[in-house]
Amino acid sequence: MKKHRQLIGCVLIGGESIRMGQPKHLLQYGGQSWLARINSCLQRSCDEVVVVGKGELPDGNWPLLADACGCCGPMAGVLAALRRYPQAALIVCACDMPEISAAAVAWLIGQCQPDDWAVVPQIAGRLHPLFAIYDSRIRPVFEDLAHRNIMRMREVCGARQVRIVEPPLELHNAWRNINDPDELRFWRSGQKPKIG
């Protein structure tokens, strides 16, 4: 991945949270909202952190960017950030991954090579495009998918310049997302739900 003037942390919020029944980014972990915790991890490595989507935000000064029009789901948030920061690389994080850590962010940044348009982790054969890095050069791929109304983030991973990487075992939990009250209950009790 080429050198950039900016490395932007991008936290995606605003899903309908139908399964969870409440906004996931406002859930608490260690006395902080999930959003605040992820933001804190990103700030250690990024020039700027922006929240993308819509929804209630915790108290504080939160730079907020609206989703790209004509898109839906995470694709709308990533494309909005790529358009807003045309010379930057993005570290994209879904707000439902409360165990994202500064160590995982640093590891992900360390995987970037000059020719990479994106670096996407894979665990047990499953791609994790919602805690990954996207270089500004991949924007035409996103634009093309959006134009064709293809909103699945995993479609981006098929581009030749996207490198797939396997995180070390001790960092796997950073890619665990929590989708519903049962998973949340298991996670809070220490019975960690499956990474998915």
Q: 17-52 pLDDT, tens per residue?
A: 667 867 788 888 888 899 999 999 999 999 999 999
Q: Would you call 127 exposed, middle or buried from its count of C-beta atoms within 10 A (0-12, 13-18, 19+)?
A: middle
Across the range 177-195, mean pLDDT stands at 79
Q: Which residues contact 97 (CB under 8 A, 6 or more apart)?
A: 34, 38, 130, 131, 174, 175, 176, 177, 178
Q: Which residue has the higher pLDDT, 70 or 191?
A: 70
- Supply the pLDDT for residue 189: 83
Domains along the sequence of the chain with CATH:
7-188 (3.90.550.10)
Q: Which two tokens stand for residue 165?
A: 């990487």
Q: For residue 190, is pLDDT > 80?
A: no
Is the pLDDT reported for residue 196 higher than 60? no
Q: What is the pLDDT of residue 1?
A: 54
The rounded distance, in Å, linking the Cα atoms of 169 and 103 is 13
pLDDT tens digits, 115-154:
999 999 999 999 999 999 999 999 999 999 999 999 999 9
pTM, rounded to two decimals: 0.90
Retrieve residue 129's tokens.
């495009």
pLDDT band at 16 (very low <50, low <70, confident <90, very high): low
pLDDT of res. 167: 97
**Residue pLDDT, tens place only, 63-102:** 999 999 888 889 999 999 999 999 999 999 999 999 999 9
Q: Categorize the per-residue pLDDT at 61 as very low, low, confident or very high, splitting at 50, 70 and 90.
A: confident
Residue 193 pLDDT level (bands cut at 50, 70, 90): low
Helical ranges in 34-171 per DSSP H: 34-43, 73-84, 102-110, 139-147
